[in-house]
Amino acid sequence: MTRMTVQVSRFEPDAGVSARLVPYEVEVHEGARVLHALYAIHEQDPTLAYRYCCGSGQCGSCAVRVNGKPGLACMTPVVDGDVIEPLDLPVVRDLVVDLVPRIERIAALIPGDRAELPDRETVDAMKDRCDCVECGSCISVCPAVAVSDFAGPTAMRQLERLQVDPRDAEDRVVQARDDGLFNCTSCHACYEACPKDIRIMGKAIERLRAEANRRGFTLPRHLEVSDLVRTTGRSVVRTETPLFERIDPVIEPYGPVRGEVAFFVGCMYSMRLPQTALDAIEVLRRNGIRVVVPMEQVCCGSPLIRTGQLDQLPRVMTINRKAFAPYPVVMTMCAGCGATLKNDYEDLPFRVMDINEVLTEFGIEPPAHLSVTVTYHDPCHLLRGQGISEQPRAFIRQVADLVEMPARCCGSGGGVKSGKPEVAAALGELRREAIAATGAEQVVTSCPFCEFHIAGHTDLPVRNITSLLLEAYRKKDEKEAAASTPPSN
Amino acid sequence: MVENGATSSHVLVIGSGGAGVRAAIEAAEHGSVVLLSKTIAGKGGCTPMAEGGYNAVLREEDDPSLHAADTLKGGAYLNDPALVEALVHEAPDRVRELVAWGAVFDVAPGGGVAQRPFGGQQRPRTCYAGDRTGHEMMVTLMDRLAATDVRVVHECAAVELLLDEGRCAGAAALNRDGELGVFLADAVVLATGGGTQVYDISTNSASGTGDGYALGYRAGAELIDMEMVQFHPTGAIQPYDARGRLVTEAVRGEGGRLLNSLGERFMSRYDPERMELSTRDVVARAIATEILEGRGTERGGVWLDVTHLPPEQVEERLPIMLEQFLAYGVDIRKEPMEVAPTAHHIMGGLRITPGCATTVPGLFAAGECSGGVHGANRLGGNALAETQVFGRRAGRSAGLEPERRREVTPAIDRQLGALRRRFDDYLDGEVPPHSVVKRLKLTMWEGAGIFRDHEGLARALAGVEALRNERLRATTRRNLLECCTAENQCLLASLICRAGLLRPECRGAHTRRDPTCELPPDRSPYGHTFLSLASEGIEEVRT
């Protein structure tokens, strides 16, 4: 038996006070799950309300947040110091949330003329979406659910599964559109929270959006993006002199060459935020990395995939594949491009690395410390799309004081900023509050979409991580220059 | 004096597993229906946890008479033949119905629902959706339920059946806040599932507390064969808190091998013909014997091995097993599972007619809380089929009951008064229910487990009766239900022990070390054991 202390959120609906964390000391067996700690707590204090049933991950009754992350209590190992809270849904009492209204938004199959089991191919195409145990975890973390009438990730999962099923009589694409299909920001928080590892964005929402595209339901603003890619190779219009017109195709570092990357610039950094890309190139040069920029590169295709417009996809993929084929390492600094190259392109002949990974792998020259407090916004396509969270923080800590805030989508992804601006704006405003709560003086991030969007929802400067590093190098240079220049009397 | 007024419907269905939901769907064809669920409907009971499959004759090479013969032989001929006939003849229609309603079963190479071999079957007859068959069925049934006018009352537990002039007229229930609710109906379907949570090691969900047996018994219904408790041969044994968790028979259906600590495929000693796919009673006894005789693992189990199967087969057909064992650090594609028997299913239950009528007018029962379908041992895959066949039958019978005046009569009011006094006693009680239940589970595992004798059963019964006399305590009104549940569990345990004492033979799952009759099951002079408020005994077959 192991003795441990866990904190559990207690909430009385009629007491007129907000939820509070209460520590409990419990004894559990080796290998115990959170549920077993809750059993033990309930024995000490029978007033604790919590929900559970099968105890083996099959009924979805017991989802709670453990240290902020949703999980089934019966499957999540319990560790000393754990903080156990209800899912971020309306709380009935203690750990019990109001789950039924959410479950009721999951569509039911309406039988049509076909009564036979579909063929194996069709069954295989929907099988993994049948694993859902309707625990509510995905709904509780979905940013679009928080600010709009989006029916939620698992509701979309079900609509896609029904859409595939020839036995279902309803028009699920129309239903999905009406239930907020285009509100999903592709943040992947649902996948991260799902105890059954269902990739709702890729396996349901993108597929439904592709079906919506075939049916002519693509949002007008998304069609414009697709037209732009067709005519210009880029998904955004130029507002600045594009990066490609400002640089040479090969940029040598300042000192000895320690490495080389081929730079996949992406639409935002080439057309909208070229200065940020130039800052990044300066940081790379300073750290001995040669930057090669294949000029034929085009949009990675992410805006097309996320909005279900797949017709041009093979073409842009082929162009990019060919443009970068000669180089062993391709570097992205746009989180969206990086996630797309890594997850949507298949069998690439080169390695794709985000700039944070490149700088971490080569190691950077120590920068000066700037007397500034910053908070870091995790770009979804970096954090969940590429699993990168610690590297940027390590750099930030070298140059500034870092105050954390909860990782949450800013609203700029998935075509939501263009297609559903009100949803994007509402999420942007939530970021404003979260940023303000940190007391930071600046916001640092590592994605052009986040950078651009958050800048419209905070009064603080929003900086790319490489811009921050560059400033720190410049300060270092100034200091060193000041030290080597004798004071003039 | 009814808090929140009484809820009235033509049919009241108690329980939201496979049988309850199927009954509600059917009853809705005949009138208003309320479905009362202790959990969030669709999440409770054992159906969503049922892994392996659903037995139905679907192909030319199989025949209902073979399914019936397998079921009767597997059940040691204690089954009620009329119920078996209903099961085997209607199971195919019910599975086709589920398919028409959208169930995503696995597909056979030539199309149609795939079937795999399970223990005790002459043909591969078990339809499946990977190893989450019950979950798939439940999702499908909930979809169908949503298309009806059935009023679903979530998280509200029936605590007593209400009787009026000898008829079942509804139920009293407690909601999440501990408020008493009254549900009146012309007919009531009990579909509360099983109760092996009375054992220390059990596969059942937390809702497997035997409420239906207790409610039915207290209402005067007759129960049969309550000694027939199926110990599933393969339950997980570690870590401690996951002990008893079901390791599906599908593992053996897919070719899994049982090995003792010497590496012997020991089933060759117990059933050389059927080996691992013998019936559950035989396999469970074999494993228990290996462990008792010192050929078990250090932790007191045996090995169940699928490492010789292609990893893709394990991934596709046994995904839940893979996921659950991986969660505890065991990759079953590369290493064997460690397993031991676990209390799984109660074959006994309320005596029913093929129309699911119990011995109390107005009260119907379906699914695990009823008895007679499986006899002395249930075949894997027959329980899911039972939920659908008898769920539908119970719903129909209840729906066809005539409309009556539904009101809180003086007789019902008296029962509610008694219930309130019982609640007051709980609020004034001394012993926390979890303490009673813990001791109960150990007592039952010790005295009414796989191997039984008179002395052990009598000792267990004495222990259970002592526990029934303890004064349960509810800390708040919200804890009243825990007291009611503990009381139900104690009553169920008592019924199991009493029935066990009544049957002096080894029959199916009931293994006596001290049998006074050693005739083979097909020549046994004994029929059902029976227990009711009025009488208890064992039927003797006159030859």
pLDDT tens sequence across B383-398:
999 999 999 999 999 9
Q: Do B240 and A53 touch (CB under 8 A)?
A: no
If you average pLDDT over residues B6-30, what whole number do you get? 98
The pLDDT assigned to A15 comes to 84
Q: Do A117 and B113 touch (CB under 8 A)?
A: yes
Residue entry with tokens 């992350």: A69
For every residue of B305-359, DSSP letters joined together read E-TTS-HHHHHHH-HHHHHHHHHTT--TTTSPEEEEEEEEEE--EEE--TT-B-S
The CA distance from A325 to the nearest CA of chain B, in Å, is 34
With residue A263 as reference, give the H or E element that holds it. Answer: strand A259-264
Spell out the domains of chain B, with CATH numbers in brackets.
Answer: 237-341 (3.90.700.10), 410-514 (1.20.58.100)
Per the prediction, chain B carries an average pLDDT of 96
> Which residues of chain A are within 8 Å of residue B39 when distances are taken between CB atoms?
53, 59, 61
Specify whether the CB–CB gap between B206 and B197 falls below 8 A: yes
β-pairing, B370-371 vs B349-351, is parallel
Which of A11, A113, A117 is the mutation pick for testing B, counting most B CBs within 10 A? Answer: A117
Query: What's the pLDDT tens digit per position in A86-108?
Result: 999 999 999 999 999 999 999 99
CA atoms within 13 A on the CB side of B188: 34
Query: What's the pLDDT tens digit per position in A254-298?
Result: 999 999 999 999 999 999 999 999 999 999 999 999 999 999 999
pLDDT band for position A483 (cuts 50, 70, 90): confident
Catalytic option among B22, B67, B132, B252: B252
Q: Do B48 and A59 touch (CB under 8 A)?
A: yes
Query: What's the pLDDT tens digit per position in A3-30?
Result: 999 999 999 988 889 999 999 999 999 9
If you average pLDDT over residues B499-511, what whole number do you get? 97
* Rounded (10°) CA dihedral A357, A359, A363, A365: -160
CATH topology of domain A103-214: Fumarate Reductase Iron-sulfur Protein; Chain B, domain 2 (1.10.1060)
Q: Do B241 and A46 touch (CB under 8 A)?
A: no
Q: If phi over 0 gives left and psi between -120 and 50 gives alpha, with beta otherwise, what is residue A88?
A: beta
Q: Do B206 and A55 touch (CB under 8 A)?
A: yes
With residue A91 as reference, give the H or E element that holds it. Answer: strand A91-93
Q: Which two tokens stand for residue B534?
A: 């009025």
The yes-or-no verdict on residue B159 having pLDDT over 90 is: yes
If you average pLDDT over residues A419-435, what whole number do you get? 97
d(CA B218, CA B162): 10
Specify whether the CB–CB gap between B32 and B400 falls below 8 A: no
Surface-to-core class of residue B402, CB atoms within 10 Å of its CB (0-12 exposed, 13-18 middle, 19+ buried): exposed
If you average pLDDT over residues B221-250, what whole number do you get? 95
Query: What's the pLDDT tens digit per position in A298-323?
Result: 999 999 999 999 999 999 999 999 99
Query: What's the pLDDT tens digit per position in B95-129?
Result: 999 999 999 999 999 999 999 999 999 999 999 99
The yes-or-no verdict on residue A489 having pLDDT over 80 is: no
Specify whether the CB–CB gap between B115 and B126 falls below 8 A: yes
What number does CATH give the domain A2-97? 3.10.20.30
d(CA B56, CA B90): 8
The yes-or-no verdict on residue B528 having pLDDT over 90 is: yes
The yes-or-no verdict on residue A125 having pLDDT over 50 is: yes
**Which of A29, A54, A75 is facing B48, going by the closest CB pair?**
A54
The pLDDT assigned to B1 comes to 40
Q: Which two tokens stand for residue B369?
A: 């809380």
Q: Which two tokens stand for residue A452?
A: 């651009």
Comma-separated ranges of CATH 3.10.20.30 domains in chain A: 2-97
Which residues 12-71 on chain B approach chain A with CB closer than 8 angstroms? 39-40, 42-44, 48-49
Which residues 143-172 on chain B approach chain A with CB closer than 8 angstroms? 143-144, 146-147, 154
**Which of B43, B100, B238 is facing A115, going by the closest CB pair?**
B100
